Amino acid sequence: MTTLPEYLRRAALPVCLVLSACGGGGGGDSSTVSGQATGGSDSTSPPPAVSWYSTAKPLIERYCVACHTQDSTLASFSLESYNQVLAKRSALIYVLENGTMPPQGYAGPTATETGLLLDWLNAGAPKGDPSQEPLRQLAGAYTYQADARAIIEEKCVNCHEEGGIAPFPLDTYDRVKSVRAAAVFAVENGSMPPWHPTEGYTGFADARALTAEQKFILLSWLQGSLAEGNPGDYVAPPRKVVKSTDDYNLRLALPQAYTPTLRPDDHRCFAIEWPLEEFAYVTGVDVIPDKIDEVHHVIVSIAEPQDAATYYAADGEDGRPGWHCLGMGGIGGAALPRQIGGWVPGAGREPPPKGTGIGVKPGSVMIVQMHYNTLVAEPKPDQSTVLVETAAEVERPSSSFLITDPRWLAPGGMPIAAGDPDAHHEFTLGTSVLGLIRGQPAGIGSGDPWVMHNGFLHMHTRGKSGRLTLLRKNGTEQVMLDVRDWDFNWQSTYRFERELLMEPGDRIKLECNWDNTQANQDIVDGVQQLAKYIEWGDGTGDEMCLYSVLMTRPEEGYDYSYAPTVHIETPVYRQRFAAGDLVPLKLLFNNFSLHDPGMHDHSDPALHDGSEHSAVADDHSQVYEGHYHVYLDTDDDSAEHLTAWDSSYFYQLPEDVEPGPHTLRVSLRGSDHHALGIEQSVEIEVAQGAAAAASSLVDVDAWTEQTTAADSFAGHRPADFQCPSSSWYSEDGALEVETGYCNYLSLVQPSLNGVKAGDTLHLVLWHADLAFEKPARAHVAVSLAGKPVWEAAVDIPSEADIYDLRIPVGFDVPAGSAVEFHLHNHGYNSWTLLELEVER
């Protein structure tokens, strides 16, 4: 993604630069200026750094064009084109130098922006090259009110609100604008909103992830003008169907208030006596967090009556309410409880699958696993409340349970070697077996088909990735849930958009992968544990691999059919290319296998006996193998296209393709090239030349600890220096530092690029709320080639803040010189270095 200059990132309200009101309007020496500008960019010279395309056009469109249009009654002339602006060069210089425009009450250009426009005008208004034009010019002018606000309210504000678990409330224009750099970073790398299932496989209801178009709109706005726009253009996002708190007949608070003690993450389980004396079905569960700024997520489960005493005995055994736990709170000597619901930030009270309910016996115990995170809040006593809706009868009784390979539970059954970066275990089980051993509560027998409603995976902190796949008896494979980047802190149950039918002969495959290297070990009391051999266990240092099932009988009249799907993962929506470029393709297929054209692909001989399926009328409804075609800007299947049978490939754009938006369409084909009717398309941009970008000075994975002798800020190094290597790490492309375990940090690496005197260092750094047991100050700094270029002292306590700075560099820094990052902090705080790059 192109990084835009600061003057294109500043937020401002639309204004009207009505030049005629201040006497401007003369054409000036337009013939002379025109000659200068025309010659400002020839075929042998690079385009000027400050040009019409790079600087003047975005600013004039933001501050002037709202009034200065061809048909406007607010101004007597237009400023919509380069030639029109050129003709008014003298008038523009006059009003900018005298500050007579915009009219009072309108926000105008900043001093920096005014200086840039004057420099450009006084240099002869060079036109430059269209390749310098920011991405938003091709994408269209987005505003907060018309475009960004609804997306942010739908996907972000449920967490980023006053008193919410996330820092930086995002419920107003000014608040979003103030954290632009962090928002760009989180949206670009996909870490926010938190949603871990891989897009392109089975779809889930109420997905929190941004769509490709939403992501593009947000990035274009955040990296563009940051215009607020007209509040009248705002259209509220669709409202979710949610239940009222009055719909829940049980309100069950935690037995005692609990103050988190482990920081920043404390996983604590509590046992709550099930209050009903008659058998009942749970038809809905929700949680009202008492302290929403420290409750990270909640998992609610039911343990059977025969295990109740064991769970009650665990309560308070370490002298505090509840007990330390992982996952759903399973403990030795008792069966794992059945999950019945939960809560994560941003979740609404969505209705459960239609007509379903989980049976609960009298005498059962409810296990509530609370994950507290105090990264942005001081620990406070929490006594959250669980809401439960019950019914005496339901249309479709459901069975809820956990599944794993029983062999993994035996000693040595699930070995994970010390230092193994990609330990792997998998397990396959027939769906009929599940019906036999777990189907009775839902009225399902061993030979009956049944329906699966959700996807859920569980591992511990060494988890790396996981997958749940339905292997149908006809040979097709459907990935039900794929999590590429496992995060123990964001476990969720994902409800399928469409129920999945499990038929006799089908199987379910569970796969888990772990990273057991030294860098991925837990930190206990500020000390990173040594990598060691681990296997199945309930403890923090052990691991698990299991999935959860919500099972019911099929619903009469429900369409359980399925079809192949294709998802274009690369290129992304509106990704930019030049004519003749090789466009990388990365495709995800579900219920579809790739093979070379000509191979036989039909699973049922009765449907293709003696036929090559070339006729339109032939039945292709059960073709799940083949290849694909890629088309550019056409719905004509007979047009020129690429034929490929690899999930990763390249499509070459024509050398004469016109600049602007274009559409790539992927079409699935059987072995006879007949279209299966399964397609997806993506819109890309073709630009005139490569987009300009700043150059990063650092590789997030290349930091090493600086020696005391070479430390440019050694005077700040404390005598009781403590900083285990596990307290700083790469997270989603940024450097993360957890200062609860590190009171001083000095990191160094060779600069990836050179810096010349006069260049600008772009630094983006943020910290969460800073807290300490007594008032203190943090010191943070950056040096190049041993010379400090920026440092700051930050008071503790203080609220979360972002530094988005551009720092002039007054000396040359050859590539390979030392880049140092320093942090002297106090307390359990979090710092993130997002960007360190040079802008020339």
Question: Which residues have CB under 8 Å from 493's CB, separation 6+?
Answer: 339, 342, 454, 455, 456, 548
Tokens 């600008």, located at residue: 760
Query: Residues 6 or more apart from 231 whose CB is under 8 A from it?
Result: 145
Q: What is the pLDDT of residues 261-312, one digit of tens each?
A: 887 788 899 999 999 999 999 999 999 999 988 888 898 999 999 999 999 9
Please, is 523 exposed, middle or buried when counting C-beta atoms within 10 Å of its C-beta (0-12, 13-18, 19+)? Answer: middle
Angle at 324 between CA 318 and CA 329, to 5 degrees: 130
806 against 321, higher pLDDT:
321
356-380: average pLDDT: 89
Q: Which residues pair with 662 in a beta bridge?
A: 684
Banded pLDDT at 51 (limits 50, 70, 90): confident
Contacting residues for 74 by C-beta, under 8 A, at least 6 apart: 16, 18, 67, 68
Give the pLDDT of residue 450: 97
**Selected residue with higher pLDDT from 49 and 93:** 93
pLDDT, position 102: 64
pLDDT of 176 over the 60 cut:
yes
Average pLDDT over residues 622-642: 92
Q: What confidence score (pLDDT) does residue 692 get?
A: 42
Residue 52 has pLDDT above 80, yes or no: yes
In whole angstroms, give the CA distance from residue 508 to residue 480.
9
Higher local confidence (pLDDT), 612 or 381: 381
SS3 percent helix, strand, coil of the chain, rounded to 5, is 20, 30, 50
Phi-psi region at 229: left, alpha or beta (left = phi > 0; alpha = psi -120 to 50): left
**Across 107-130, average pLDDT:** 79
Q: What is the pLDDT of residue 41?
A: 36
Q: Which pTM value belongs to this model? A: 0.70
Q: What is the pLDDT of residues 660-707, one digit of tens each?
A: 999 999 999 988 788 899 999 999 999 875 544 578 899 988 999 998
- For 71, the token pair is 């048909």
Average pLDDT in the 389-409 region? Answer: 93
Q: Residues near 521 by Cβ (< 8 Å), separated by ≥ 6?
A: 462, 528, 529, 530, 531, 726
- Three-state DSSP string of 664-692: EEEEEECCCCCEEEEEEEEEEEEECCCCC
- Give phi and psi for 92, each to the nearest 5: -65, -45
- Are 762 and 805 within 8 A, CB to CB? yes
618 — pLDDT class (breaks 50, 70, 90) = low
Q: What is the pLDDT of residue 767?
A: 82
pLDDT at residue number 72: 62
Cβ-based neighbour number of residue 777 at 10 Å:
15
Task: Please write the tens of the pLDDT for every residue from 750-788.
Answer: 999 999 888 889 888 888 778 787 888 889 999 999 999
Cβ atoms of 75 and 81 within 8 Å: the answer is no
How many angstroms separate the first and last alpha carbons of the chain? 17
Task: Tell me which H or E stretch contains 496.
Answer: strand 494-502
Average pLDDT over residues 740-753: 88
SS3 114: helix
pLDDT band at 42 (very low <50, low <70, confident <90, very high): very low
- 348-352, 572-576, 790-794: range with lowest mean pLDDT: 348-352
pLDDT of residue 496: 95
Using alpha carbons, select from 599, 591, 538 the residue that is nearest to residue 567.
591
Please provide the average confidence, as pLDDT, over all residues in the chain.
83
Structure confidence at residue 16 (pLDDT): 30
Beta bridge partners of 796: 776
Do the beta carbons of residue 1 and residue 216 sit within 8 Å?
Answer: no
The CA distance from 156 to 209, in Å, is 10
- 368/320 Cα distance (integer angstroms): 15
Name the pLDDT band for 348 (thresholds 50, 70, 90).
low
Higher pLDDT, 17 or 766: 766
Residue 641, pLDDT score: 94
